[in-house]
Structure 1
Amino acid sequence: MDTTRQGAAVNARGIGVEGPRGWAFRGVDVCADPGSLIAVQGPSGSGRTCLLLALAGRMRITEGHATVAGFPLPKRMGTVRGRTALAHVPGVADLEPALTVGEHLKEQALLGRRLKNSLGGSLPWGRRHKDATRARVHAALAAAGLDPDTLPKGLRTAVRDLERLEALRLSIALAVMHGPQLLAVDDVDLKLSAAERDLAWQLLRDLAQAGTTVVAVGSDAPADALIVRTSSAGTRSTGPADAPGTAGAHGTGPDTDRAATRQTTHPNHTHKEAAADAFAETGRA
């Protein structure tokens, strides 16, 4: 994992995504420095996954203005996709239940090699490359807090035999292997116990503190996260405890109130539809 790349700054003003079934979300403001932990919260059907995909360059915004790592969306979606990674997004970035942990890691390493070659890089299949790949895999596992020795069959453990938190850690390890500037994670704390939720959010906080900007959908974000809410009552981003003057925070006021009145959601815009829209826009991530 490349630990030298700085995280991506995220700036969005009044962004929204409209599809054939109506608005997925609308009126979203985000202002986050590199290395921020951004938590997307809101009821099911309020466009949380679509917002996640939009900020990662996988879904085209249809109103408003946004930049990620300094690149404008939707104009530079391809560039943003090259600097971001997805984890744990149903229908878009799934683990294959029949494959083992080791097979997933090997596949991701091969994908990274293909990407570098397509960009004109050189990765010879010699001992030096194998050592570099092994180091990259170990670094990604360490960053995600996944120790293969604790798994039932080590790297030969099938995904279907992983606990939910272990599967989340594997998905994150695969996503961070090639050093993205922004990591987008869906349903961080879905069906986890209270203790597991704390561990999951601590993992994301650690990644952010190490420099990677993290955008995550979940309900129990830590108090120091930048909160972006999607709901029928409006969409706004807040700093820790809505503290005035916090970097990247938006308080209430005329502009925020106007943005809130624009917020609409479509109750039938589900995970599957978000995935379908992402496929239509960019292909499988």
Structure 2
Amino acid sequence: PFGGAAGGGFDMQDIFDQFFGGGGRGRGGSRARQGQDLKTSIEIDLQEAYEGVEKELTITRPETCGECNGEGHPPGADSRTCPECEGRGQTTRVQQTPMGRVQQTTTCPRCEGEGTLYEETCSSCRGEGVVRNEATLSVEIPAGIDDGQTLRMEREGAPGENGGPNGDLLIEVSIEDHPDFDRDGADLQYHEAVTFPQVVFGDTIEVPTLDGPVELDVPSGTQSGETFRLKDKGMPRLRRRGSGDLYVTIQVYTPDSLTDEQRDALEAFAEASGEDIEVEQGFFEKLKNSL
């Protein structure tokens, strides 16, 4: 969906022109105006946001009519001087105010500032001077962009009025959720499941990053829920040097079932630890709660 760019307040040039008939105007007496900004959106995945990507985007937007070159009438159409403004493109009226008589000048409503009326209108744009066309654009999405940020493509918006420049195209970027990583600005978070013996004895494990797998040393005695930081393994910092970090949280995996050999070994472990419990009667639940 498209819409004009947000903007509020007063145009001081318009106020000045209305009261004093100021200059800076294009043909027919109407001031050149920049076209409206248009808005659209695009979705990418986290890997594309990490690396940066070029995407094609197809939009439907207003463009200057090619048949009449934005004039609103066929070339060579018969014309006559607008009787309301007498060809000036503006109408003037005098208003009595507490400060005295003020002359107010506005764009002629009949000829819309042209100063001329034409006997024919363009069949393609029906006299509007613009048509809606489909356009395919190539947009460069920089590495490190975050969800909800907006890119601006200059002069790819709606055409200007009276010779003014086109507006811009604003593209809001949304990033799909990743199955493994959670993002917090430039940092990433990852949860790695390990076994009880791995945290008891220590181990070197392989964890994924967006730039390929890396090794992580899990020291002996690591507790479930403990987090390790991998420096510069997060997202690139947009428009800044360096990258965020990857935080790996260790979670001890508790098996749902045991072999006879595993059960005997854990019963021996429980006995050696002074635990008077049966493995089948909640040892793992108690172990899980203690980690």
Q: TM-score, normalised by structure 2?
A: 0.16
Q: Which has the larger radius of gyration?
A: 2
Q: Which has the higher contact order (CA 8 A, sep 6+)?
A: 1
Decide which structure has greater helix share. Answer: 1
Q: Greater strand percent: which structure?
A: 2
Q: TM-score, normalised by structure 1?
A: 0.16
